A and B are shown apart, each in its own frame.
Chain A
Amino acid sequence: MRVRIYFAAILVTLVMAACNKSVSDRTADLPALKPTSLDLNAGSWKPVLLTRPDTFAVAAPAATNSPAYLADLFEIKAYQKNLSGGDMDKIKYWSAGGVLRWNEIMRSLVAKYNVPPYQNADGTYPAPNSANPFAYPLFPFSNPPYAGRAYAYVSAAQYDALVACWYYKKLYNRSAPYVVDSTVKALVPRTALPSYPSEAAVLAGVTAEMMKLLFPDEIASIQQKLQEHELCAIKAGVATRAEITAGEALGRQVAILFTARGRGDNAGKAIGTPTDWAGLVATTHATGQVPWFSLEAPARPPMLPLFGKVKAFLFDSATAVSLRPGPPPLTGSDQMKAETIEAHNFIVNASREHLRIVQFWADGVGTYTPGGHWNAIAAEDFITKNFSEVRWARNLALLNMAIMDAGIVCWDTKYHYFNPRPTQLDPAIKTLTGIPNFPAYISGHSTFSGAASSVLGHIIPDRAGAYDAMAQEASNSRMWGGIHYRTDCAVGLTVGRNIGNYAIQRATKDGAE
Chain B
Amino acid sequence: MNFRNFITPALPAALMLFLLHPVRLRAQTDEDAIMMIKNNFCVGGVYSHGSWKNYWEGTFKRNNQNIGTVSTQMFGLMGTYGVSDKLNILVNAPYVTTHATAGTLHGMHGVQDLSLWVKWLALEKNIGKGTLSLYALGGGSLPLTNYIADFLPLSIGLHSRTLSGRIIADYQQGNFFVTASATYTWRDNIKIDRTSYYTTEEHLTNEVEMPDMGALNFRAGYRGDRGIAELVFSKMKTLGGFDIRKNDMPFPSNKMNATMGGAHFKYNFKAVAGLSLIGGADYTLTGRNVGQSTMFDAGVFYILDFSHKAKKAKNSKQSAKSN
Q: What residues make up the interface of A, taking CB atoms closer than 8 Å to B?
A: 14, 17-18, 21-28, 104, 107-108, 111-112, 115-118, 136, 295-298, 347, 352, 355-356, 359-360, 362, 364-368, 376, 423, 429-432, 434-435, 482
Tell me if A431 and B104 are in contact (CB < 8 A). Answer: yes
**8 Å CB interface, B98-145 against A:** 102-107
Tell me if B193 and A23 are in contact (CB < 8 A). Answer: no
The segment out of B83-91, B168-176, B198-206, B291-299 that lies at the interface is: B198-206
**CB within 8 Å for A107 and B202 given contacts A22-B209, A297-B103, A431-B106:** yes
Tell me if A359 and B192 are in contact (CB < 8 A). Answer: yes
**CB within 8 Å for A352 and B203 given contacts A23-B208, A115-B246, A435-B104:** no
CA distance A352 to B149 in the complex (A): 12
How distant is B184 from chain A, measured CB to nearest CB, in Å? 11
**CB within 8 Å for A118 and B193 given contacts A24-B205, A112-B198, A297-B66:** no
Task: Please give me the residue from chain B that is nearest to A18 by CB atom.
Answer: B186
**8 Å CB interface, B195-226 against A:** 195-198, 201-205, 207-210
Tell me if B192 and A430 are in contact (CB < 8 A). Answer: no
- Residues in chain B near residue A296, CB distance under 8 A: 66
Task: Please give me the residue from chain A that is nearest to B204 by CB atom.
Answer: A25
Known: A376-B204, A430-B105. 8 other contacts (CB 8 A): A104-B202, A108-B202, A111-B196, A359-B148, A360-B193, A367-B198, A368-B196, A482-B106
**CB within 8 Å for A297 and B195 given contacts A22-B209, A111-B202, A366-B249:** no
CA distance A362 to B105 in the complex (A): 13
**8 Å CB interface, B12-57 against A:** none
Partner of B204, one of A18, A21, A27: A27
- Residues in chain A near residue B195, CB distance under 8 A: 26, 360, 376
Cross-chain pairs A/B with CB under 8 angstroms, 22 sampled: A21-B210, A23-B189, A23-B205, A111-B196, A111-B202, A115-B247, A118-B246, A295-B103, A297-B102, A297-B103, A298-B65, A355-B148, A355-B193, A359-B148, A359-B192, A365-B249, A366-B248, A367-B194, A376-B196, A423-B104, A434-B249, A435-B104
How distant is B189 from chain A, measured CB to nearest CB, in Å? 6
Confirm or deny: B245 has a beta carbon within 8 angstroms of a beta carbon on chain A: yes
Most buried by B among A21, A25, A27, A482: A21
The number of chain B residues with a CB under 8 A from chain A is 37
CA distance A431 to B103 in the complex (A): 9
How distant is A19 from chain B, measured CB to nearest CB, in Å? 10
Task: Please give me the residue from chain B that is nearest to A114 by CB atom.
Answer: B198
Task: Please give me the residue from chain B that is nearest to A348 by CB atom.
Answer: B106
- Residues in chain B near residue A295, CB distance under 8 A: 103-104
- Residues in chain B near residue A429, CB distance under 8 A: 104
Tell me if A367 and B208 are in contact (CB < 8 A). Answer: no
**CB within 8 Å for A367 and B196 given contacts A23-B208, A26-B205:** yes
Confirm or deny: B150 has a beta carbon within 8 angstroms of a beta carbon on chain A: yes
Tell me if A359 and B194 are in contact (CB < 8 A). Answer: yes
**8 Å CB interface, B54-87 against A:** 65-66
Q: What residues make up the interface of B, taking CB atoms closer than 8 Å to A?
A: 65-66, 102-107, 146, 148, 150-151, 163, 186, 188-189, 192-198, 201-205, 207-210, 245-249
Most buried by A among B66, B107, B209: B66
Tell me if A17 and B188 are in contact (CB < 8 A). Answer: yes
- Residues in chain A near residue B204, CB distance under 8 A: 25-28, 104, 376
Tell me if A21 and B106 are in contact (CB < 8 A). Answer: no
Tell me if B151 and A359 are in contact (CB < 8 A). Answer: yes
CA distance A360 to B191 in the complex (A): 12
Task: Please give me the residue from chain A that is nearest to B245 by CB atom.
Answer: A115
Tell me if A434 and B105 are in contact (CB < 8 A). Answer: yes
Tell me if B207 and A14 are in contact (CB < 8 A). Answer: no
A-B complex: 9 closest residue pairs judged by Cβ atoms:
A108-B202, A297-B65, A359-B193, A430-B106, A25-B204, A111-B198, A118-B247, A23-B209, A23-B207
Task: Please give me the residue from chain A that is nearest to B99 by CB atom.
Answer: A430
**CB within 8 Å for A23 and B203 given contacts A118-B246, A355-B193, A367-B198:** yes
**CB within 8 Å for A136 and B148 given contacts A18-B186, A367-B198:** no
**CB within 8 Å for A359 and B150 given contacts A118-B246, A295-B104, A297-B66:** yes
Tell me if A430 and B107 are in contact (CB < 8 A). Answer: yes
CA distance A423 to B198 in the complex (A): 28
CA distance A18 to B249 in the complex (A): 28
How distant is B118 from chain A, measured CB to nearest CB, in Å? 13
How distant is B297 from chain A, measured CB to nearest CB, in Å? 26
CA distance A381 to B306 in the complex (A): 62
Partner of A364, one of B186, B192, B205, B249: B249
CA distance A365 to B152 in the complex (A): 13
How distant is A358 from chain B, measured CB to nearest CB, in Å? 8
How distant is A470 from chain B, measured CB to nearest CB, in Å? 12
Tell me if B104 and A362 are in contact (CB < 8 A). Answer: no
How distant is A196 from chain B, measured CB to nearest CB, in Å? 33
How distant is A207 from chain B, measured CB to nearest CB, in Å? 16
- Residues in chain A near residue B148, CB distance under 8 A: 355, 359
How distant is B252 from chain A, measured CB to nearest CB, in Å? 12
CA distance A118 to B62 in the complex (A): 11
CA distance A116 to B247 in the complex (A): 7
How distant is A347 from chain B, measured CB to nearest CB, in Å? 6
Partner of B106, one of A298, A347, A366: A347
- Residues in chain A near residue B146, CB distance under 8 A: 352
